[in-house]
Chain A
Amino acid sequence: MTETTSMQLVPTLSEEELRLIDAEIAHVPYRSAVAIDALKIVQQHRGWVSDESIKAIASYLDMSADELDGIATFYNLIFRRPVGDKVILLCNSISCWIKGCDGLQQKITEQLGVQFGETTSDNRYTLLPVTCLGACDKAPVMMVGEELHEDVAESSIVRILGGSTEP
């Protein structure tokens, strides 16, 4: 299928998204094998994966929207609801728990006014828990966007999340 025809079939995916998805399809035996890659590509361009995107991707990969949604909702880093500009991934696994991640969570909630799973009203941050981030010698740790913060103290939360205030 050429890019032009696929564009006509799937109007809601951009040319760039289709190009990246096609590159993944090139090295797998059937189209639906790239379901997760395609979800990630679309999410990278749009911030999250809407119902419309699910339908568009599913149609492009020759699978049903329900099957794709079953995959999308399985993976915790595929967002089926809009998220903030940056996602905070707070590690609450054992080494970070020993070193006080619960206190960090409280501090973030005080600072941003959000619990796990919520987005700040100014849309800057979404707070989520995450599995052990593999930096346990630097516990407690958290990610803000793609950046890892190590040995995080409660007192450094204000600096890390720079200036964002409680709504």
Chain B
Amino acid sequence: MSLDRPLTRNVRADRSPTDMAAYEANGGYQGLKAAVGKLSPADCLEILKDSNLRGRGGAGFPTGMKWSFVPMGDKCSPGDKYLICNADEMEPGTFKDRLLLECDPHQLIEGMIVAAYTLQANVAYIFIRAEYFKAAALLREAIAACHQKNYLGNNILGSDYSLEIHIHASAGRYICGEETALISSLEGKRANPRAKPPFPQVSGLWGRPTIVNNVETLCNVHHIIERGADWFKSLGLTEDAGTKMYGVSGRVKRPGCWELPMGTPVREILEEYAGGMADGYSLKGFLPGGGSTDFLVGEHLDLAMDYETIGKAGSRMGTGTMIILDDKTCPVGFVKNLIEFFARESCGFCTPCRDGLPWSAQVLDDIQHGRGRDEDMDTLARQVKFIGAIGNTHCALAPGAMEPLQSAMKYFPEAFEQHIQGSCRHCSGGGH
């Protein structure tokens, strides 16, 4: 078994799913056996904290610290606690969780069991987007197989710990991926994000302590408990520990998704794994980790892809799946596509998001179609300032939407200017 690529060790070239027998034959459920009934939840949490695992959903918050806010033992009022897996992968340009779910469903289940044990949660949910039919079916099979082996259910492997995992297949809408919106949706409501505090760790699903973690984050948990924090830290090339599912989409030779050491340089991912730009195209810029991260450009290619380094360069690593802007694609059209996405996906609760994003989309549409005016650039700058400000909205959808816009205006101002003057070289004269 490959110890330096723990997340994809069961991923086959044809992407066929790994079943219980194959998963166990390759060392599966050893993390579960090492943790449940053997280590105390407090010990598991210490290992997790030491490992420096950070949330793989995009924000990069330290997982152990997030978990440490959940009240334990006597400090928790009587009643259930919940673990929720966020499998609502919908960030534009992000396609890593699908791979983990479809190729190795048991890995997620094992990670969830160990995570729920650490938190002493007896009920867990997998919130999976509606369109992932195949993954949902595989997860249902995996859960049933776990019940047969008593890896789930009452008194797991003779311990006093019990756990049920339920699958909730969603009904659409990007905003469900925001953790408090996800909780609202799981409660059967409209997926409006909630103001924080209170944080879900204290008052989440049905008002009870709740942890929401991304698929990739949870897939790491049992590996860390089984092999230790030092092993996990040794996998990364920089301060940020572990491996990362990196991806590249756009006009490159081999778009794809690969598990690589955390901190692998952008250039290596782009050139060695994605094969470089497709013939006839050159790199103009890239979004490092999904649609709501700031553009970086050629001068950033030698940076390490990790939370700290990409953060210092003025963007975010986000989901780690890069979207490439090539020299033949219009930056204005690119950004308009993203802003229209976020405008469509706004839950409509907060005014800057509900009314601001369609306004931005309208201004960009005017610019794209030759109706732009010089003052439109000031309008966009004002929108970036007010819609992008953290604290003007309950959640990060609107501020996230402003990230590609503000950085496109910074790195590609000529594209906007040419459009306003009616001479975009990408769009045959700027009219279309």
Q: Which residues of A contact B (CB under 8 A)?
A: 27-29, 32-37, 39-40, 70-71, 74-78, 89, 92-95, 97-99, 130-139, 143, 146, 148
**CB closest chain-A residue, reference B291:** A94
Q: Are A71 and B188 within 8 A (Cβ)? A: yes
Q: Can you list 19 pairs linking A and B with CB atoms under 8 Å apart? A: A36-B185, A40-B130, A71-B188, A78-B172, A92-B337, A93-B93, A93-B341, A94-B341, A95-B249, A95-B323, A131-B172, A131-B174, A131-B341, A132-B94, A134-B89, A134-B132, A136-B249, A136-B323, A137-B95
- Against A, the Cβ 8 Å flags (1 = close, 0 = not) of B166-206 are 10111111100000000001011111000000000000001
Asked if B356 CB lies within 8 Å of chain A CBs, one says no
CB distance from B275 to the nearest CB of A (A): 12
Q: Is the CB of A33 within 8 A of B187?
A: yes
- Interface contact B132-A131, CB-CB below 8 Å: no
Interface residues in B224-256 (C-beta closer than 8 Å to A): 247-251, 255-256
Of A71, A97, A130, the residue contacting B190 (CB under 8 A) is A71
> What CA separation (Å) do A89 and B323 show in the bound complex?
21
Give B61 Cβ to nearest chain A Cβ, in Å: 22
| Contact A36-B188, Cβ < 8 Å, known A131-B341, A134-B98 | yes
CA distance A75 to B247 in the complex (A): 29
Whether B171 lies near A34 (C-beta < 8 A) is: no
Q: How far is the CA of A131 from the CA of B345 in the complex (A)?
A: 8
B91 within 8 A of A: yes
Q: Quick check: A131 and B323 within 8 Å, CB to CB?
A: no
The count of chain B contact residues (Cβ–Cβ below 8 Å) is: 52
A75 touches B323 (CB 8 A): no
CA distance in complex: A92, B251 (Å):
16
B396 on the A face (CB < 8 A): no
B338 within 8 Å of A (CB atoms): yes
Query: In the assembled complex, how far is the CB of residue A77 from the closest CB belonging to chain B, in whole angstroms?
Result: 4
For A92, list chain B residues within 8 Å (CB): 337
A70 pairs with B249, CB closer than 8 A = no
Residue numbers of B with Cβ under 8 A of A are 89-95, 97-98, 123, 129-133, 164, 166, 168-174, 185, 187-191, 206, 247-251, 255-257, 291, 321, 323-324, 326, 329, 333-334, 337-338, 341, 345, 347
Knowing A29-B206, A89-B131, A94-B341, say if A137 contacts B247 (CB, 8 Å). yes
Q: Is the CB of B95 within 8 A of A134?
A: yes
B338 x A135 contact (CB < 8 A): no
Chain A residues lying within 8 Å of B92, measured Cβ to Cβ, are: 93-95, 131-132
Residues of chain A lying within 8 A (CB to CB) of residue B129: 134
B94 touches A136 (CB 8 A): yes
- Is there an interface contact between A76 and B206, defined as CB atoms closer than 8 Å? no
Smallest Cβ distance from A144 to chain B, in angstroms?
A: 12
A29 to B82, CA, bound (A): 13
Complex: how many Å from CA A93 to CA B338?
7
Assembly CA distance A139 to B132 (angstroms): 16
From B164, B187, B255, B334, contact of A27 by CB (8 A):
B164
Q: Which residues does chain B contribute within 8 Å of A74, judged by CB atoms?
A: 173, 190-191, 347
Residues of B within 8 A of A32 (CB): 188
For A139, list chain B residues within 8 Å (CB). 249, 255
- B123 contacts A27, C-beta separation under 8 Å: yes
Cβ contact within 8 Å between B91 and A132? yes
Measured between beta carbons, the chain B residues less than 8 angstroms from A130 are 131, 172
**CB-based contact A78/B249 at 8 Å:** no
Distance, CA A92 to CA B189, complexed state (A)? 27
Contact check, A93 vs B337: say whether CB atoms are below 8 A apart.
yes
Given A71-B188, A94-B341, A136-B166 contact (CB < 8 Å): no
